[in-house]
Each structure stands twice: as C-alpha cells, then as structure tokens.
Structure 1
C-alpha cells in the first residue's frame, strides 16, 4: 500500500466513524467530520499532511494514487 492510498483510506474511515458516532453516540461528533474536511482541504492547498508524514515514518512508500 502506498502513502497516498493509506491517507485516502484513513480519511474515509475517519469520516465514516465520525458519522456513526454522530448518529449513535452524540451529535457533537460531527465536528470530527468537519476537522477531517478541513485537514483534507489544507493538505490539498499546502501539501502538508500529518497523516502522510506518519505513514511514511511507518515505512509506507510513496507512489501514484491512481495505481
């Protein structure tokens, strides 16, 4: 798995988990979805993505997201 795919997977899991928590636990969990959206927006504009840094440190390699 590449860093790019891991970041997309992680972002998707955060959004889905947040929506489930919002539905079944407390409506305030929707802020986690908002945070994920802000992080994705900032990462696309600046190129800075904390999740990508973490995944690289864990040993994943960079590659094309479309492969």
Structure 2
C-alpha cells in the first residue's frame, strides 16, 4: 500500500469512527470529523499532510499525490 491509499483509508476510518462515537456517546465527536475533512481539503491545495510526512519518514512507498 502506498502513502496515498493509507492516508485515504485512515481518514475514512477516523471519519466513520467519529460519526459512530457522536451517535452513541456525544455530539462533540463531530468536531473530529470536521478536522479530518478540513485537513483533507487543505492538503488538496497545499500538498501538505502530517500523516503523509510521518509515513514517508517510516519508509513507506510514495504515491502520486504525496
């Protein structure tokens, strides 16, 4: 798996997890969903993603986006 696919999979898991937690625990978990969405949006324009940087330092194979 390259960095692009890992970042997208991780974002999807965090979004789904925060939606489930907001439903069963507390609505403030939706702020995590908003944070992940904003991070994906800004990385589309700037090309900077903290998770991609961490994965690159760990030696994962780069994709076309990161």
Query: After the TM superposition, which parts of structure 1 deviate over 6 Å for at least 4 consecutive aligned residues?
Result: none
User: 2:3 aligned with 1:3, yes or no?
Assistant: yes
How big is each residue's C-alpha offset from its partner over 1:12-34, in whole Å with a ceiling of 9 and x where there is no partner?
01101110110111000000000
How many residue pairs align between the two structures? 65
| Structural RMSD (CA) | 1.2
TM-score (ref. length: structure 2)? 0.91
**Structure 2: 5+ residue stretches without partners:** none
Pairing of 1:14-33 with structure 2 (within 5 A): 14-33=14-33
Unaligned runs of 5+ in 1: none
Structure-1-length-normalised TM-score? 0.90
